[in-house]
Amino acid sequence: MPANRVFLDAGGQSPVSRRAADALLAGLADGWADPTRLTHESRRARALLDGAREAIADVLGADAAHVHFLPSGHVAAERVTAGIFRARRGRERIVASAVERRAVLDAAEHAAPGAVDLLSVDGAGHVDLDELATRLGHPSTALALIQHANQEIGTVQPVDEVAQLARRAEVPLVVDASASIGHIEAPAEWDALLAEPADWGAPAGLGIIATRPRTRWLPAWPGEGWAPGGVSIPLALAAAVALQERRESHEANRARLAAHTARMRDALSGLEGVTVVGDPDSRVPHLLTAAFMYLDGEPVVTRLDREGFAVGSGSACGTAAFEPSHVLAAMGALTHGNLRIGLHPAVSDDDVERFISTLPRVLEDVRRSMTSH
């Protein structure tokens, strides 16, 4: 196994920086007490939790009092969908784009079994706004679930236009920003927002819900609040520090990673039987997916791993490692073989060039091995 490994599978979970790791340790040292009690230790823990919430709220464009920490992104998706849906009594259907994260689609189906209307997307992954307007106008529609950016192909949805349609129809809009926060500016218009700190370089184990003061919701689970039993203060502190670190170098990282993905797009597009999917312009800077004709994704990932490159394939949010991508299927793209790349700030120019020079040989090796069997 090559000693100089390059991690290119950072879509959804990025390497934890030293600052974030140090913040986690500081949280363990000073944030272990119950923040609801009155002791000195509890007040110190509460101050750390409040500071983390305020720092994240500032980036999200939210009121700190309405930012909530949950045990994972999946739990956050389940809670926000179920809570807002329950408050919309008399309306039994949910609208979602066909390219939402699997966790979001599962949450919708659990809240409204058999009553989830999936919106079609175009070849670049953009939601059909006319179809959305029609669905929002139906009196049975309780809420809409529309992502900010796609977790596999990087396409950014026209959230401002989506929000205008939702506001006109008086339907709450839940925006999944799990693939965009820490990479581009947060969307301005939403009734509830989902974020996942692991995507911006925080330790895994935390999900975030932000709501507007006007957003109505009712608990669809035992206990009070979004997360009965409290949250991990060390994880919340690490998430805030990791997000602040991303914010400090936002412009430089964005330009550099966009240049990396543009270089990769050009190189991949020039290979025989390879199609790069997603919007080439309206996109987050760090994600890239290519579909292969007549190739399986699994052997490509395995061969690249032997060469020292960690990449992804299949669905970015499936329960199985190489589950076919429902995102690519909805777009009408090839799902049999694909390569999913997620960059993080530590990826260098040399890493990108070495990957580009290695990939053609790997693809040719896979083709030969498939034809020899």
CATH topology of domain 6-15+249-371: Aspartate Aminotransferase, domain 1 (3.90.1150)
Summarize pLDDT for 245-298 with one digit per residue, the tens.
999 998 899 999 999 999 999 999 988 888 999 999 999 999 999 998 877 888
Composition of the chain by helix, strand, coil, percent to 5: 45, 15, 40
User: What CA–CA distances, in Å, run from 286 to 147, 155, 180, 261?
Assistant: 16, 11, 10, 7
pTM, two decimals, is: 0.93
Separation CA 185–CA 201 (nearest Å): 16
Give the bridge partners for 242, in sequence order. none
| Residue 1 reports pLDDT greater than 60 | no
Residue-wise DSSP of 270-311: TSTTEEEES-SSSB-TTEEEEEETT--HHHHHHHHHHTTEE-
DSSP letter for each residue of 112-157: STT-EEEEPB-TTS-B-HHHHHHHHTSTTEEEEEEESB-TTT-BBP
Q: How many CB atoms lie within 10 A of CB 155?
A: 28
Of the candidates 349, 344, 260, the residue with the CA atom closest to the CA atom of residue 310:
344
**Residue 335 predicted with pLDDT over 80:** no
Residue 3: predicted pLDDT: 58
**pLDDT band of 315, cuts 50, 70, 90:** low
CB atoms under 10 Å from CB of 192, counted, come to 26
pLDDT at residue 127, rounded to an integer: 97
Distance between CA atoms of 117 and 131, rounded to whole angstroms? 10
Residue 358 near residue 303, CB atoms below 8 Å = no
Selection from 96, 67, 66 nearest residue 172 by Cα: 96
pLDDT of 322 over the 70 cut: no
CATH no., domain 18-248:
3.40.640.10
- For the residues 175-182, what does the mean pLDDT come to? 97
Q: Where are the domains of the chain?
A: 6-15+249-371, 18-248
Percent of all residues in the chain with a pLDDT value above 70, rounded to a whole number? 96
Cα(169)–Cα(23) distance, integer angstroms: 43
Arithmetic mean of pLDDT, 145-171: 97
Q: What is the pLDDT of residue 368?
A: 85
* pLDDT exceeds 90 at position 317: no
